[in-house]
Amino acid sequence: MIAVAVTDVTVAFGRFVALDGLSLSIEYGQVHGLIGPNGAGKTTLLDVLTGKSRARSGRVTLDGGTDLAGLSEVERALAGIGRKFQRPSVFEALTVFDNLDLALRLHRRSLLREIMVRRAAKHAAIERVLETVGLAAQRHSPAGTLSHGQKQWLEIGMVLMQEPKVLLLDEPVAGMTDTETEHTAALVRSLRGPERSIVVVEHDMDFVEQVADRVTVLHEGRALFEGSMADARRDPQVIEVYIGR
Amino acid sequence: MSGVLDRGTLTAGGLLGLVIVLLPLSALGVVPLPALPIYGVNLLGQIMCFALLAMSVDLMWGGAGVLSLGHGLFFAFGGYLCAMHLLRTAFAETHVLPDFLLFMGHGGFPSWWSLFDSPATTALAILALPALLAFAFGYVSFRSRVNGVYFSIITQALTYTAMLLMFRNDTGFGGNNGMTGFRSVAGLPAGSLPAAVLLATLSGCAVLVVLLGGRLLLASRFGRLLTAIRDDEPRLRFLGYDTLWLKLAAWCLSACIAAVAGALYVPQVGIINPSLLDPALSLEIAVWVAIGGRGGLCGAILGAALINGAKFWLAGAAPTLWPFVLSLLVLAVVLLLPNGLLDLRNRSRAWMTDLSRGPLPRLRAP
């Protein structure tokens, strides 16, 4: 089933065309890898999905119905699009636990009711995610004291608290050690589920090969290739523009 | 709760409680304390108002990372509203119009001033109107995502504009002479010891309420959301929070506190004029908070009390020295105590360990 359908989307910044009539569908139950050289439009695509950038033309729909163009960043987040940023973005002064507490929304319609929720009401869900991302021992540490890798996991955990339909991970293993990368690969694979689609933007091709069911290779704002990572590695065009000989 | 009542808060709260209880009791003669000097009581009351003002800035700056350099606007707004009430009560007693109205050739108060006859409507106006102004300004700024230093500059510009407006005689609030000639405060003769004690006690109560209430608020989920805004606002937005409303709520509350501070301040000094809208005052509030220490409200009280206490003292002892003392203090805090004076204990511990280790191995004479 298709979670997000991107149809003929063009994004331009001045005269620079970041996405050039891109069409792409992201399906439930899969991990979809987005790869391509710098400037290919990977992050721009995530920006369009989350509302950080606006498309000049084209349509983006969620679940075949909702047209995302009319929704703000906040509304899209509430509609089920969660994003982990390239640079780890966590609330450094708050504890790991409180970071997750804020990320969990029990009352999506009312900010006031959300603020009034008792802490205990969120406890079980937070403990579950703490286990999932492996930060249970750090629950009372300020997020600012975590290592780079742990911050990445915390941010993934925060996005998970939103129970997103579409989970966008922008370079989840950038700057991680090999062990941390392996741990993250296992985490991403474990997050795959029939109700969720996961998009991973990453330069580490071995990581993408480990986690992705399908990859799209972007080049100059267009989809150059779509298929499995193993096939991508053999594709002459992909080798030409991205992998190199 | 331990987060709400830390050592600083308990100390500040205890001192405030003592003042609130002892001041009226000794004024009534119940507690045999040495005669209260009216000057001292008045000074204490003024400093309390500045502490309130500093806390209102700290709530936004320490809480949400939004620095206002224009809180003098809300302070003065509250002050003007209170002064209007005091002039109406003075007129009811003497039936003599204030000078500024006579000079402008008015035969009486503009009719809408009668709204300020009652203390209740005045209090309501003080709580609501500055908050309303803050809402309008905040909505426009926060919606267009004006952040950081740009926001600070706009607040300053707004205050300056208000000052120019109030300097005009035509605006109708006394121009650069301002409004003065208050006769009585809540039935007590203005400038008398009972009035000074009443106002200082009220100011003390307000400081205590805002300190405890503010710390409870900052420790709540709302406060944590403000911290999240300070740390990474886009992240919070992508978690599905419309940060506009969170910031607006804190901003309006902050304006409201500043207005109450102004309303308590004006009867104690007996005059209000546009000098309260001088950008220099608004800048100074940020200096009090920075020197005391941001984020916990105690630092704001400490900074406001210390700086203003020193200012009053030096204004008599060596008035020309004051700008130098203030500048040196700011430099010292920026260089040595970036988190303000409240951080002195932690910092000094670190310095002591550094000292005991010694900077470099020393050469000994053979």
Which sign, positive or negative, has the C-alpha torsion B214, B220, B225, B229? positive
Contact call for A111 and B242, based on CB within 8 A: yes
The distance of A102 to chain B (nearest Cα, Å) reads: 7
Which of these, B86, B63, B361, lies nearest to B220 by C-alpha position? Answer: B63
Q: Which residue in B231, B239, B245 is closest to A103 by CB distance? A: B239
Size of chain B, expressed as the number of residues it contains: 366
pLDDT tens for the 366 residues of chain B, in order: 457 888 888 999 999 998 888 888 887 777 766 767 888 899 999 999 999 999 999 999 999 999 999 999 999 999 999 999 999 999 988 888 888 888 888 888 888 998 999 999 999 999 999 999 999 999 999 999 998 899 999 999 999 999 999 999 888 898 888 999 898 888 888 888 889 999 999 999 999 999 999 999 999 999 999 999 999 999 999 999 999 999 999 999 999 999 999 999 999 999 999 999 999 999 999 999 999 999 889 999 999 999 999 998 888 888 888 888 889 999 999 898 888 888 887 788 877 777 777 655 555 655
| Distances from the Cα of B337 to the Cα of B160, B288, B300, angstroms | 31, 14, 15
Closest-CA residue of chain B to A71: B240
Q: What is the b/e burial string over B88-106, where b = at least 16 CB atoms within 10 angstroms of the residue's CB?
A: bbbbeeeeebbebbeeeee
Q: Do A93 and B231 touch (CB under 8 A)?
A: yes
Sequence-ordered list of residues with C-beta below 8 angstroms from that of B349, at least 6 positions apart, any chain: none
Phi-psi region of B295 (alpha: psi -120 to 50; beta: other; left: phi over 0): left
DSSP string, A53-109: S--SEEEEEETTTEEGGG--HHHHHHHTEEEE-SS----TTSBHHHHHHHH--S-SS
Classify residue A117 by its DSSP letter: S
Instruction: Identify the residue whose tokens are 């009560």.
Output: B89
State residue B92 phi and psi, 5-degree precision.
Answer: -60, -30
Name the helix (H) or strand (E) containing A183: helix A178-191
Residue B226 has a pLDDT of 97
CATH fold for domain A2-243: Rossmann fold (3.40.50)
Rounded CA separation B265/A166 (Å): 55
Give the chain B residue nearest A117 (alpha carbons). Answer: B221
B143 touching chain A per CB within 8 A: no
Check A108 against B240: CB less than 8 A apart. Answer: yes
| Distance, CA of B283 to chain centre | 12
Name the one residue in this structure whose structure tokens are 């992201």: A26
B217, B193 contact by CB (below 8 A): no
Query: A170 phi and psi, to 5 degrees?
Result: -95, 110
Q: Minimal CA–CA distance to B311: which of B288, B343, B337, B342?
A: B288
Look at residue A223 and tell me whether its pLDDT is greater than 50. Answer: yes
Distance between CA atoms of A206 and A211, rounded to whole angstroms?
9
Q: Are B196 and B46 in contact (CB under 8 A)?
A: no
A57 φ/ψ angles, rounded to the nearest 5 degrees: -150, 165
Sign of CA dihedral B281, B283, B288, B291: negative
pLDDT of residue B361: 56
From start to end of chain B, where are the E strands?
Answer: 179-180, 184-185, 188-189, 271-272
Residue B316: CB atoms within 10 A of its CB come to 7
Across the range A22-40, mean pLDDT stands at: 91
Residue among A77, A92, A101 whose CB faces B231 most closely: A92
Edge-to-edge strand list for the sheet holding A2-13: A16-27, A2-13, A57-62, A66-67
Q: Concatenated DSSP letters for B177-211?
A: G-EE---EETTEETTSHHHHHHHHHHHHHHHHHHH
Asked if the Cβ–Cβ distance from B224 to A50 is below 8 Å, we say: no
| Tens digit of each residue's pLDDT (9 = 90 or more) over B266-305 | 999 999 999 999 999 999 999 999 999 998 899 999 999 9
Give pLDDT, residue B362.
57
Share of chain A above pLDDT 70, in %: 99
Contacts of A84 (CB under 8 A, 6+ apart): A152, A155, A156, A159, A167, A168, A169, A170, A172
Residues of B in contact with A103 (CB under 8 A): 239
Contact A101, B224 (CB under 8 A): yes
What is the distance between the alpha carbons of residues B298 and B288, in angstroms, rounded to a whole number?
11
Q: Which two tokens stand for residue B270?
A: 């007996």
Contacts of B241 in chain A (CB under 8 A): 74, 102, 111
Q: Which residues pair with A27 in a beta bridge?
A: A2
A103 pLDDT above the threshold of 90 = yes
Whether residues A105 and B242 touch (CB distance < 8 A) is answered with no
Q: How confident is the model at residue A169 (pLDDT cuts 50, 70, 90)?
A: very high
Short-list B214, B202, B209, B207, CA closest to B58: B214
> Which amino acid, one-letter code, is at B173?
F
Q: What is the pLDDT of residue A245?
A: 55
At residue A130, the pLDDT reads: 95
The span from the CA of B203 to the CA of B49, in Å, is 6
- Closest residue of chain A to B234, computed from CA coordinates: A89
Q: Residue B243's closest CA among B130, B147, B136?
A: B147
Distant-in-sequence, close-in-space partners of B310: CB < 8 Å, separation ≥ 6: B325
CA distance to partner chain B, nearest, from residue A57 (Å)? 23
A59-76 average pLDDT score: 88
- Using CA atoms, how far apart are residues A165 and A67, in angstroms rounded to an integer? 15
Which residues are within 8 A (CB) of B361 and not within 5 positions of it... i.e. 6 or more apart? Answer: none
Contacts of B227 in chain A (CB under 8 A): 91, 93-94
User: Can you give the pTM of this predicted structure?
Assistant: 0.91
CA distances from A172 to A85, A136, A245, B240 (A): 8, 20, 26, 21
Q: Which residues pair with A4 in a beta bridge?
A: A26, A62
Output A1 or B142, whichever has higher pLDDT.
B142
Q: Distance of CA A3 to CAs A20, A191, A194, A196, Å?
A: 21, 16, 11, 8
- ipTM confidence: 0.90
C-beta of residue B32 within 8 angstroms of C-beta of residue B187: no
